[in-house]
């Protein structure tokens, strides 16, 4: 049985936090909101609790977890050495959506790090996450609270849909304010490497510590209609519907819209597939003339924060509406655009440049 507790995201009720902390302390699993997405938390110092996280998600054991800590004073519980730039980054971006890779402290059970000698660590800024850490007084291992391979949850109902019956408790603190996972930055490399773009942009990091590298990226500028073969792209954020990404490499929005319309015409003529479109306020009217398609606007194209916040929920809504194909386009790679493009690519079965 999975219990759900409604909790105030600004001023979490202490009695509820104590109940959740007790579940964590006794080796159970609690899903809780962070500023990025909902996490599936367990005691990071308890190998059995960590094992339960992998089982609940159906996550392969070779994919390491992020350890959440209250603040930098807990760093020595999880790591042995602080690489250059740690102080600066932690000072500027913690608490917040930046995960840092450090050498692992042997106190962290090997299954947390998938047997590796490095550990991913972040201090979340969400009041519920902070209260849970403070009261449990334990580092909490928490991947995103979705079944492995599915879209990350940004609302408690998403967690329930994926994990009901597999975890002990869900703290329902409403919608996650960022809606995209944290940026993962490997500090054990020089220069540091962004392993996953996220809530803190590459530009913000580089402004602070100078050049960082971006981990070798999958797929850019592939020939038109290129179909990604399984394994070439980790499909980590996929909705159950087939997502087709019209990647706006030209930067000209009209090109992307034309491609979507072209595709629409083609698919609607050929077969009876149900189609959903993820679009933005300024562009939704282009698609209104088409009957029987589900249109969801993610917000204004001028507001990447808003698009980021609504992206995963939009995918889940279309999937629940039962569409076969989701058509969408990206928003370049400036600022949060890079993280949005990354998540769309990972969700996509096909990427078409425009």
Q: How far is CA 11 from CA 6, 89, 122, 272, in A?
A: 12, 27, 21, 49
The secondary element (H helix, E strand) that includes residue 201 is none
Pair 28, 140: CB distance under 8 Å: no
The one among 181, 247, 283, 330 contacting ligand TXA by CB under 6 A: 181
Instruction: Return d(Cα 219, Cα 222) in angstroms, integer.
Output: 6
Residue 219 token pair: 């797929």
- 86-125 mask for Mg ion (x: CB under 5 A)? ----------------------------------------
Q: Which helix (H) or strand (E) holds 315?
A: helix 304-320
With beta carbons less than 8 A apart as the criterion, state whether 295 and 20 touch: no
Binding marks (x or -) toward ligand TXA, 24..63, rule CB under 6 A?
----------x-xx-x-----------------------x
| Cβ-contact 101, 120 below 8 angstroms | yes
- Binding residues for ligand TXA, rule CB under 6 A, total 24
**Residue 157 burial (10 A CB sphere; 0-12, 13-18, 19+):** middle
- Pairing type for strands 275-279 and 30-33 reads unpaired
The reply on whether position 78 binds ligand TXA by CB under 6 A is no
Among 7, 53, 89, 120, binds ligand TXA (CB under 6 A): 120
Question: Which of 148, 286 has the CB closer to ligand TXA?
Answer: 148
**Nearer to Mg ion among residue 64 and residue 337 (C-beta):** 64
Q: Are 64 and 111 in contact (CB under 8 A)?
A: no
Binding of ligand TXA by 118 (CB under 6 A): yes
The one among 113, 151, 297, 329 contacting ligand TXA by CB under 6 A: 113
CB of residue 123 to ligand TXA, shortest distance in Å? 10
Residue 144 lies near Mg ion (rule: CB under 5 A) = yes
Q: What is the binding site for ligand TXA (CB under 6 A)?
A: 34, 36-37, 39, 63-66, 97, 99, 101, 113, 116, 118-120, 142-144, 181-182, 184, 195-196
- Footprint on this chain of Mg ion (rule: CB under 5 A): 144
């Amino acid at each position: 049985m999975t219990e759900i507790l409604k909790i105030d995201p600004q001023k979490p009720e202490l009695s509820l936090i104590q109940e959740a902390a007790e579940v964590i302390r006794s080796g159970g699993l609690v899903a809780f909101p962070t500023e990025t997405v909902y996490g599936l938390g367990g005691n990071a110092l308890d190998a059995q609790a960590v094992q339960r996280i992998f089982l609940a998600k159906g996550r392969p054991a070779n994919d390491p977890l992020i350890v959440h800590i209250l603040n930098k004073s807990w760093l020595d519980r999880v790591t042995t050495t602080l690489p250059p730039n740690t102080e600066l980054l932690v000072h500027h971006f913690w608490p917040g959506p930046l995960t840092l890779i450090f050498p692992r402290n042997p106190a962290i059970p090997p299954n947390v790090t998938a047997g590796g000698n490095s550990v991913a660590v972040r201090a979340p800024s969400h009041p519920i996450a902070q209260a849970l850490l403070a009261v449990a007084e334990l580092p909490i291992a928490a991947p995103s609270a979705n079944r492995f391979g599915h879209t990350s949850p940004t609302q408690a109902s998403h967690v329930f849909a994926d994990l009901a019956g597999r975890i002990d408790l869900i703290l329902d603190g409403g919608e996650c304010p960022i809606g995209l996972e944290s940026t993962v930055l490997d500090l054990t490399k020089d220069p540091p490497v962004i392993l996953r773009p996220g809530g803190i942009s590459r530009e913000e990091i580089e402004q602070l510590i100078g050049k960082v590298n971006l981990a070798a990226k999958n797929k850019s500028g592939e020939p038109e209609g290129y179909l990604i073969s399984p394994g070439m792209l980790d499909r980590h954020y996929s909705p159950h519907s087939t997502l087709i990404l019209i990647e706006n490499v030209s930067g000209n929005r009209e090109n992307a819209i034309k491609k979507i319309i072209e595709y629409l015409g083609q698919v609607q003529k050929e077969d009876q597939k149900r189609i959903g479109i993820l679009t933005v306020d300024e562009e939704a009217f282009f698609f209104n003339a088409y009957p029987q398609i589900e249109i969801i606007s993610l917000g204004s194209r001028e507001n990447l924060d808003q698009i980021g916040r609504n992206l995963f929920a939009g995918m889940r809504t279309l999937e629940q509406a039962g569409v076969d194909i989701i058509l969408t386009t990206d928003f370049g790679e400036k600022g949060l655009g890079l993280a949005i493009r990354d998540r769309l690519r990972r969700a996509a079965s096909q990427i078409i440049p425009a």
